Structure 1
Amino acid sequence: MDLIVRNARLAGGGEVRDIAVNGSVIAAVEEHIEERGDSEIDAGGCLVCPPFSDPHVHLDAVLTVGDPRYNDSGTLLEGIAVWGERRPFVTKKGLMENAREAVLWEAANGVQFIRTHADTTDGSLVTVEALLELKEEMKDVADIQVVAFPQDGIYTFPDGERNLRRAVEIGCDCVGAIPHNELTREDGVRSVELAFDLAEKFGRMVDIHCDETGDEQSRFVEVMARCAISMGMGERTAASHTTAMHNYGNDYALKLMGIFQRAKMSFITLPFDNSVLQNRTDGYPRRRGHTRVDELDRAGVNVCIGHDSIMDPWYPMGKGSMLAAANLLLHTAHMSGYSQVFRLFRMITGNSAETLGVSDSYGIAPGKDASFLVLDAEDEFDAIRLQSECLWSVRRGRVVSQSVPATRTVTRESGRRDVDFKWKRMTGKA
């Protein structure tokens, strides 16, 4: 075998197994594999899981925080204004340098699947061209999908529809829209319908920034669901943000859950940006700025977690860690119940794979792609608690990232001791 991983603690049950890799495929997962590999990794009982995905990030804006100025109010509207000021000065070279660096950050954190949005507002489509080039350049560390995303809306300026169509024609994988940003509700509905029509015509997926507002009257998600049902495109459809759903009346939200089940569409929640950008006009008390994650999950609707921004005009923090995003959502979505923590882990692994349409080759089983992570944790609970380092990231049989955790030593009068915060191991409960 080309590679054997020893003493791997599998997600979803905690069994310790050996994993054999032949070429780019998992050949065997067994209690013990006698054969030796050309190279071997001793996981030492650490958690081994499929790769993380980031199903929603804006690589055309990453690492631009403070350029041309900082977002002092921290609001969504000022973020859009700052980006508008920067847009005329965007170059393909600068954009790709920043995006390339952000992909490496995510790769070091165990992300191997990325869906990025590319702003189609500028008629030059420089952002689209750059990210399509990046997709090809970085395929050794991550599979990248590009969404044609009309940041300012489709019908708010004359060339919006033409730009969106051109972006799809030159190779974008998904069609986007931002209906709540259109001038009227009627234009918002038109924008959703156009996105679905283009996706159907060109065989693409749909990923729409939908109801990213605290306005309980913003209800374009129902239009998305109707299109997904009538056109049979639910499994290729993702609604991103849907933060207005947090503020909907409970009766209406309950009705929606049944519609979403029927539509078979996916939802992407963005804890970093949603937690700081939404419900800014509430005063006190302040509602939480995310969609109804726990209710959607209980209803059997596919929900996953995206990073959204990494040091840009909308969110000045971040380092590409999906475990950090899951940890934040645990707090803001009231999902600290023991079983819920494991559901959160699923939202950055299997659920995201389903949203991105890569489930067939995804997972740790014979015949699947040899793509997996070794995390510095004993189970999914501890991975989120510790926001664990990715010790090894193996992509189609090749190690693409490796990390050495920090050593922390506490010195007392009685002596020195290293501390790794691993409570289960320390108490002998592993």
Structure 2
Amino acid sequence: MLLKNAKLYKQDGKWDILITNGNIQQISQTTESKAEDEEVIDLDGKIVLPPYVEPHIHLDYVLTAGTPRWNQSGSVFEGIEIWSERKQIVKETKEDIKKRAMEAVRMQMKHGIQHVRTHVDVSDPTLKGLEALLEVKEEVKKYMDIQIVALPQEGLYSKPEGESLLRKALEMGADVVGGIPHYEPTREDGVRSVICALDLAEEFGKLVDIHCDEIDDDQSRYLEVLAAEALKRNMGHLVTASHTTAMASYSNAYTYKLFQTLKKAGVHFIALPKANLHLQGRFDSHPVRRGLTRVKEMLNEGINVCFGLDSIKDPWYPLGDGNLMPVVDVGLHACHMTDHDNIVKALDLVTTNGARTLDIMEKYGVKEGNQANLIVIDSDSEYEAIRTQAPVLYSIRNGEIIVKTEPARTEMAL
């Protein structure tokens, strides 16, 4: 396959990309004569970039909003209550969970996502959600790489079997150790859950991704515990803090001190702009806090931050269709990042920054010698791609087109 006249993301000029045997053989501004049987696609200056990365989704929860009831307060805590109620009322099978998850995977594929990190609830003693997603991971690996986070959604120490279930989930094949310290019964239990997660990660050789301080309480400070422990163990590059919305309520003096630890530790951050704009500030009158972590400030300090969607129609967030481009759009607005410099590099937030978080950078990117995993979006400008929320025209994996979308045609009388 030969992709002609491509615009490489954040590079000038037009390039030809030669793909053979599933790999990128050559990237050049002039390509040698092609073989007779070679497929040629003229991209006419459209942007080519590595596939989108969804670093934070809950595939076991998708498409469940409204059952057994809708989240009236819109809060994180009511979402957890509803999910707990649903497990008691709706007796889903593993096949039911797989069916919903596969529908969401198809949505993500349509929008150019080839790398996904999904959390799965391991508070359920049956662990059928984990079993379902392990099977989904295997069945879709030709089209998508999936990392699975074992998340004790109802708290690690709210139930006697919490630790043993988390350990069992890792033994079954979960890729990442999760946690939710701000939901634990006490501050001490929250700290203990962070220590436990890092202990298990070291024991099993896993990554770590903690739902950390997803609350508007300025005294919720498990992030400092997570970062300090990661620093002491020299494993910050393997550790991710998701949400960290309490950071929006921290004082500037405390945040300055915290940033020094974060930079030394090298932990990664995932912000969920659409979900947390919806969930946070629910206990405020006016002014209502936006409830997003300090994305712009952390990026300016060289701390790795990426964007994710979080949910697709579940008890925590009633919308979403797997598309990350609206997440970028909303995030830029909410984080006051609509200056030109941030707009033209905004796709980093759903590509390379996410790849660093998932620890897949070694084989990620549109480079000679890499696997031919890439997407083509309907724009010839990074700025216009964000302004128009350019759709994905092609998603190519291992040199094969797995998604092709024809652009919409509009006729006007004017």
TM-score normalised over the length of structure 1? 0.94
1:113: which partner in 2? Answer: 115
Distance apart, 1:16 and its partner CA? 1.1
Question: Residue 289 of structure 1 is aligned with which of 276, 284, 291?
Answer: 291
Q: Secondary structure at the match of 1:240?
A: strand
> C-alpha offsets along residues 217-236 of structure 1, whole Å, 9 cap, x if unaligned?
00000111011111111111
The percent of aligned pairs where both chains have the same amino acid is 45
Q: Secondary structure at the match of 1:411?
A: coil
Question: Residue 393 of structure 2 is aligned with which of 383, 391, 395?
Answer: 391
Task: Please tell me whether the aligned partners of residues 345 and 382 of structure 2 are also in contact (alpha carbons under 8 angstroms).
Answer: no
1:227: which partner in 2? Answer: 229
Distance apart, 1:257 and its partner CA? 1.3
Q: Is residue 28 of structure 2 the alignment partner of residue 20 of structure 1?
A: no
Q: Is residue 159 of structure 2 the alignment partner of residue 157 of structure 1?
A: yes
1:346: which partner in 2? Answer: 348
Distance apart, 1:31 and its partner CA? 0.3
Task: Please tell me whether the aligned partners of residues 197 and 208 of structure 2 are also in contact (alpha carbons under 8 angstroms).
Answer: yes
Q: Is residue 320 of structure 2 the alignment partner of residue 318 of structure 1?
A: yes
Q: Is residue 35 of structure 2 the alignment partner of residue 51 of structure 1?
A: no
Distance apart, 1:262 and its partner CA? 0.6
1:74: which partner in 2? Answer: 74
Task: Please tell me whether the aligned partners of residues 134 and 173 of structure 2 are also in contact (alpha carbons under 8 angstroms).
Answer: yes
Q: Write the distance in 2 (CA, Å) between the matches of 1:109 and 1:266.
A: 24
Q: Write the distance in 2 (CA, Å) between the matches of 1:379 and 1:68.
A: 45
Q: Secondary structure at the match of 1:327?
A: helix
2:4: which partner in 1? Answer: 6
**1:352-371 map, 5 Å:** 352-371=354-373
> C-alpha offsets along residues 123-179 of structure 1, whole Å, 9 cap, x if unaligned?
110111111111001111110000000001100111111100100111000000000
> C-alpha offsets along residues 395-419 of structure 1, whole Å, 9 cap, x if unaligned?
121111111121122213xxxxxxx
Distance apart, 1:268 and its partner CA? 0.3
Amino acid at match of 2:120: A
> C-alpha offsets along residues 88-137 of structure 1, whole Å, 9 cap, x if unaligned?
32321111111101111111100000000010010110111111111001
**1:87-236 map, 5 Å:** 87-88=87-88, 89-236=91-238
> C-alpha offsets along residues 373-394 of structure 1, whole Å, 9 cap, x if unaligned?
1100112222222221110000
Task: Please tell me whether the aligned partners of residues 55 and 306 of structure 1 are also in contact (alpha carbons under 8 angstroms).
Answer: yes
Q: Write the distance in 2 (CA, Å) between the matches of 1:379 and 1:256.
A: 37
> C-alpha offsets along residues 320-351 of structure 1, whole Å, 9 cap, x if unaligned?
11111100101111110111113421110101
Q: Write the distance in 1 (CA, Å) between the matches of 2:388 and 2:85.
A: 38
Task: Please tell me whether the aligned partners of residues 119 and 151 of structure 2 are also in contact (alpha carbons under 8 angstroms).
Answer: yes
Q: Write the distance in 2 (CA, Å) between the matches of 1:178 and 1:67.
A: 23
Q: Point out where structure 2 has 5 or more consecutive residues left out of the alignment.
A: none
Amino acid at match of 1:82: I
Distance apart, 1:368 and its partner CA? 1.4
Q: Higher mean Cα deviation, 104-113 or 6-15?
A: 6-15
Q: Secondary structure at the match of 2:403?
A: strand
Amino acid at match of 1:72: Q
Distance apart, 1:72 and its partner CA? 2.5
Amino acid at match of 1:148: A
Cα root mean square deviation, aligned = 1.0
Amino acid at match of 2:11: G
Task: Please tell me whether the aligned partners of residues 18 and 30 of structure 1 are also in contact (alpha carbons under 8 angstroms).
Answer: yes
Amino acid at match of 1:14: D
Amino acid at match of 1:324: P
User: Number of residue pairs matched?
Assistant: 410
2:28: which partner in 1? Answer: 30
Q: Write the distance in 1 (CA, Å) between the matches of 2:55 and 2:46.
A: 26
Task: Please tell me whether the aligned partners of residues 323 and 383 of structure 1 are also in contact (alpha carbons under 8 angstroms).
Answer: no
Distance apart, 1:67 and its partner CA? 1.9
Task: Please tell me whether the aligned partners of residues 127 and 169 of structure 2 are also in contact (alpha carbons under 8 angstroms).
Answer: yes
Question: Residue 277 of structure 1 is aligned with which of 276, 279, 284?
Answer: 279
Task: Please tell me whether the aligned partners of residues 237 and 267 of structure 2 are also in contact (alpha carbons under 8 angstroms).
Answer: yes
Q: Secondary structure at the match of 2:365?
A: coil
Task: Please tell me whether the aligned partners of residues 14 and 379 of structure 1 are also in contact (alpha carbons under 8 angstroms).
Answer: no
Amino acid at match of 1:177: G
Amino acid at match of 1:288: R
Q: Write the distance in 2 (CA, Å) between the matches of 1:380 and 1:123.
A: 47
1:417: which partner in 2? Answer: none
Q: Secondary structure at the match of 2:241?
A: strand
